[in-house]
Structure 1
Amino acid sequence: MPAAWAQASPPVLGNLRIVIPANEGGGWDQTGRALGAAMLASGAVAQVSYENVGGKGGTIGLAQYVQKYNAAPDTLLMSGMVMVGAVALQKSVVDMRAVQPVARLTSDYEVVAVRTDSAIQTPKDLINRLRTEPGSTPVAGGSAGGVDHVYAGMLARVAGKAADLTYQPYPGGAQVVEALLSGKAAVGISGYSEFSDSIASGKLRAIGVSSKRPFLGIPSIREQGVDADLANWRGVFTGKGVPPAAADVLLEAVRRGVAHDAWHKAIKRSNWDASWMEGKNFAGFLDLDISMAGVMIYLLKLKQS
């Protein structure tokens, strides 16, 4: 971000509302609240409030956002790859065309974890289990159609058992951890920040990460002989009824927030990759992502649980 964005100047907005289409504590919630805190710290906004609306990969929150805030110039919607996939899988009446993109903020990777005492030691062990015992190898992750589900489908396709995948969708990372620790699931897929405490305490063990190279000391799935990598992204949107000038004001406020040291610290603390994108570039990226989501769901034989 250009240094000029970080210079002190009057607030761009008085009050800002950030709608987070997920329960508290998950990746969208962490990102939305970190962005709000950075926008406050930068002076871009005078006050921030948050509205959590969880369920079905963000599609419930998306529908409510469009109904309540379609023309609200002071309200952002957190979104990302999870919502794109969930909309495609559920064939939602309200889809991503009902909102307009503001900016892409972050990317992160999928961590594949098991209980510490699991017999699954490596990604190849997991592929063998998915190939020979798919029914007794349930995989826990986020909402149906989301990035965790897509990555589970990729692994099952490598095993040649995409149609036999047993996927357990949960509303947040805490529930994925609980499913693993209780034995309800054999494998869990989520972002690193949602597994980090359990990995650090020794309750869970990471067997790989979906990046092309090692990430935070975790070897990549690809480097361990399984051809499956994937990056998740998160960003912010505004209502389709918000006029261009008001959308530009929101974009400027977000720019100032992500230029501030508070945002840089949040990026480092949460082990996200900064992946800023705006304007026509982000709109084009989103169009491609929406197109690819339908193809991936078909190829991976993903289905609602």
Structure 2
Amino acid sequence: MRRSDFLKTLAALAAAGALPLSARAGANLKMMIPANPGGGWDTTGRALGKALQDAKVADSVQYENKGGAAGALGLAQFVPGSKGDPNALMVMGAVMLGGIITGKPPVNLSTCTPIARLTSEYNVFVLPANSPFKTMADVVAQLKKDPGSVKWGGGSRGSTEHIAAAMIAQKVGVDPSKINYVAFRGGGEATAAILGGNVTVGGSGFSEFAEYIKAGKMKPIAVTSEKRLNNVPTLKEQGIDVVIGNWRGVYGAPGITPAQRKALTDMVVAATKTKSWQEALEKNDWTPALLTGEAFDKFVDDEFASLRATMVKSGMV
């Protein structure tokens, strides 16, 4: 084969995403983060972007934040704006599924391309430091007495902390449709409401409250994991049979080819093996939960069905 023909073949393979990572130049990626800066999705997207560059599979990563409606606004922009783009990624997760179920946005996640589940983060429920309550048992006692008097503060409607609050109510014999849940657009708003005593109990990923817990401004009373996190008791060990994780992952654009999907998947898997990604897992108390391919497709489908069933029972839908 002449050198000119070889170079043409190489270029065609690279454009199709069919070359091994070692034979391709790093991509210039675009990362849609369908949330405001500072929250869990933002932290995940930027940590992944750094890891992609550290793994030398991306030359650059351009970030765009578009918060609102549990990620639905970002999704609505990503779907038409990135169609067919093999270098586009969008951060997503359990919160987006809940938002789609409750909000019924005009665009559908199923048009996008599943790439990988990355992490799972369990929620911690906290009390303001000056709360008259001291334990989850105190909160449950008040919930049983007057469900509406307990204000649960957290992320968007349909978020994992919203669902967890409904599940807690259901497990302790309270009608979950009667819980008083106050949704906030971002972690900053929720944190301010908790610190100001404007909600009874707050819920979020442990990393978002860690500095306030350490400073004594919030008192952790339960985690939604199977085992204790940072020595905070689980709901299960307190007699409330609830375990729920807030998983996060990434999707590719609509309309990319199977070869392009594989190339993106290989890039993300390579990123999860870097030192910077491992450091991000430790720093943010994320549990690694890598899942790709058909297994990830099935997982998302099953999650949709499970979340919808819980949310219907709770009156969220």
Interval containing the TM-score (normalised by the shorter chain): over 0.9
Identity of aligned residues (%): 35
1:181 aligns with 2:195: yes
Contact 1:113/1:187 (8 A) holds in 2:
yes
**1-side partners of 2:138 and 2:241: how far apart?**
14
2:236 and 2:127 mapped to 1: Cα distance? Answer: 18
User: TM (normalized to structure 1)?
Assistant: 0.93
Q: Distance in 2 between matches of 1:117 and 1:11?
A: 57
- Is 1:256 aligned to 2:266, yes or no? no
DSSP-derived class of the 1:152 partner: helix
1:137-165 Cα deviation digits (max 9, x unpaired): 11111011121211111122234131211
Give the aligned residue type for 1:271.
D
Report whether the alignment pairs 1:221 with 2:235.
Answer: yes
Moved more, 156-165 or 196-205: 156-165
Larger Rg: 2
Residues 85-100 of structure 1 mapped to structure 2, 5 A cutoff: 85-100=98-113
Find the aligned partners of 1:280 and 1:163 in 2 and give their Cα distance.
Answer: 35
**Residue 240 (structure 1) shift:** 2.2
What is the 5 A alignment of 1:51-200? 51-159=64-172, 160-200=174-214
Q: Once superposed, what is the RMSD of the aligned Cα atoms?
A: 1.4
CA contact (8 A) 1:113 1:188 kept: yes
Q: Deviations over 1:224-265 (max 9, x none)?
A: 122211111100001221111111111111111111111011
**Shift of residue 11, structure 1, vs aligned partner:** 5.6
**SS at the partner of 2:86?**
coil
Is there any run of 5+ residues in structure 1 with no aligned partner, and where?
1-7
Q: How many residues align?
A: 296
Q: Secondary structure at the match of 1:104?
A: strand
Q: TM-score, normalised by structure 2?
A: 0.90
What runs of 5+ residues in structure 2 fail to find an aligned partner? 1-20
Is 1:20 the equivalent of 2:24? no
Contact 1:124-1:225 at 8 Å conserved across structures: no
Q: Which amino acid aligns with 2:130?
A: D
The ranges of structure 1 where at least 4 consecutive aligned residues each deviate by more than 6 angstroms after the TM superposition are: none
Flag the 1:196–1:10 CA change in 2: closer, same or farther, 3 A: farther
Query: Contact 1:138 / 1:187 at 8 angstroms: preserved in 2?
Result: yes
**Equivalent of 2:59 in 40, 46, 56:** 46
Q: Which residue of 1 aligns with 2:46?
A: 33
Task: Evaluate the alpha carbon distance shift between residue 12 and residue 85 of structure 1 in structure 2; reply closer, same or farther with a 3 A threshold.
Answer: farther
Question: Do the aligned partners of 1:153 and 1:162 also contact (CA within 8 Å) in 2?
Answer: yes
Q: Alpha-carbon deviation of 1:302?
A: 2.1
